[in-house]
Amino acid sequence: MSIDTFDFIVERLLNSIKHQNTPMRACIPPKEMVAVTIRFCGAFELALRGHDEKENSENRGIFKELFAIY
């Protein structure tokens, strides 16, 4: 993946994955979150997209659902 593609993905996801620091812990920076997720999916040969990526879908894909965990 090129740097431009990675930056494009981070920009598209920034508003939905950006969190605030709390007194208990610092949040994971968006670039690091995307990098870890892509690496995780690649290590297990998982698809980065789902069958139906709409907000109300039951199968949005591993890539998008992993961000819901953070």
Return all residues near 58 (Cβ < 8 A) that are at least 6 apart.
52
Q: Where are the domains of the chain?
A: 3-69
Q: What type of residue is 39?
A: R
pLDDT of residue 49: 72
pLDDT tens digits along 29-61: 989 988 988 888 888 887 777 666 677 777 767
pLDDT tier at 16 (50, 70, 90 boundaries)? confident
Return all residues near 2 (Cβ < 8 A) that are at least 6 apart.
none
pLDDT of residue 20: 81
Spatial contact of 30 and 10, defined as CB atoms under 8 Å apart:
yes
Q: Which of 66, 35, 34, 39 is nearest to 50 (CA)?
A: 66
pTM, 2 dp: 0.66
